[in-house]
């Protein structure tokens, strides 16, 4: 059985790391390469690197930063933001990414998932799904960094993405993102119990217990977290130790 992975998430804007709440009110939290090196030294299993402005600005991911990070850090690196075509995936992989995350473009043209998996292998393709509750409290897929709600069930979209060739699903609650109130365990469990590929839980980690709960109760294969590392005294070292003591099978540095 695969070990549970701990994945710090770095959001990039204008060449800097930023962090906000519910995809808004961002503030600067440092240089991406420096942050990546710290996380690697602290034993993070992987790194999630998302250029949050690329899609809005209609451009590709900032490749220089990706290349610098990949050259100086040797843990697996997932990169996303502004990915629209197979050529975009190829460019990021050549720049040093191990996996590529696609979100809005995959929803608009699901064939991109199958094309990317056929060209590079499904292990390279991470489909990112953001979700938010509608007026009835029903979770729906959200696009464009949570700004646009659809009428699509996120569990159904996750299943289709996996069927098309996604190697992993990155599942983020817009309402909980950056709020540090815990993950949306119920929705994550619905997805994890439906799809046959690993699910990375994102959005809401505020304590080390949250990391444990989303795996033990939500059946996530991996946990992504940002604010808990940026704004508290917690670290991947402490997180791994806590998760291990709670009975989770994690890699210890």
Q: pLDDT tens digit string along 72-120?
A: 888 999 999 889 999 999 999 999 999 999 999 999 999 999 999 999 9
Q: What is the pLDDT of residues 20-72, one digit of tens each?
A: 565 666 767 678 888 889 999 999 999 998 887 665 555 455 788 889 888 98
According to CATH, what is the number of the domain 5-245?
3.20.20.70
What does the chain come to in residues?
A: 253
In this structure, the number of other CB atoms found within 10 A of the CB of residue 154 comes to 26
In this structure, the number of other CB atoms found within 10 A of the CB of residue 248 comes to 17
**Mean pLDDT across the chain:** 89
> Per-domain residue ranges for the chain?
5-245
Q: Which residues of 57-86 are buried (b: 16+ CB within 10 A; e: fewer)?
A: eeebbbbebbbbbbeebeeebbbbbbbbee
pTM (predicted TM-score): 0.91
d(CA 88, CA 107): 16
Q: What is the DSSP string of 226-251?
A: SHHHHSSS--HHHHHHHHHHTT--B-
């Amino acid at each position: 059985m695969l070990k549970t992975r701990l994945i710090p998430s770095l959001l990039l804007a204008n060449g800097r790391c930023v962090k906000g709440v519910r995809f808004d009110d961002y503030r600067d939290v440092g240089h991406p390469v420096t942050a990546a090196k710290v996380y690697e030294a602290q034993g993070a299993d992987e790194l999630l690197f998302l250029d949050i402005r690329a899609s809005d600005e209609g451009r590709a991911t900032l490749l220089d930063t990706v290349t610098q990070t990949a050259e100086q850090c040797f843990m697996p690196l997932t990169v996303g933001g502004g990915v629209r075509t197979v050529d975009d995936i190829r460019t990021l992989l050549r720049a040093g990414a191990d996996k590529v995350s696609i979100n809005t473009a995959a929803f608009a043209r699901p064939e991109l998932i199958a094309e990317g998996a056929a060209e590079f292998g499904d292990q390279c393709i991470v489909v990112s799904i953001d979700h938010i509750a509608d007026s009835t409290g029903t979770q729906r897929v959200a696009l464009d960094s949570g700004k646009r709600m659809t009428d699509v069930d996120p569990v159904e979209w996750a299943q289709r993405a996996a069927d098309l060739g996604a190697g992993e699903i990155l599942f983020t609650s817009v309402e909980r993102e950056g709020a540090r109130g815990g993950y949306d365990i119920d929705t994550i469990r619905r997805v994890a119990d439906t799809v046959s590929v690993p699910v990375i839980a994102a959005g809401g980690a505020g304590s080390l217990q949250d990391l444990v709960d989303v795996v033990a109760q939500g059946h996530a294969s991996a946990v992504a977290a940002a604010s808990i590392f940026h704004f508290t005294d917690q670290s991947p070292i402490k997180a791994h130790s806590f998760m291990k003591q709670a009975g989770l099978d994690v890699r210890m540095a």
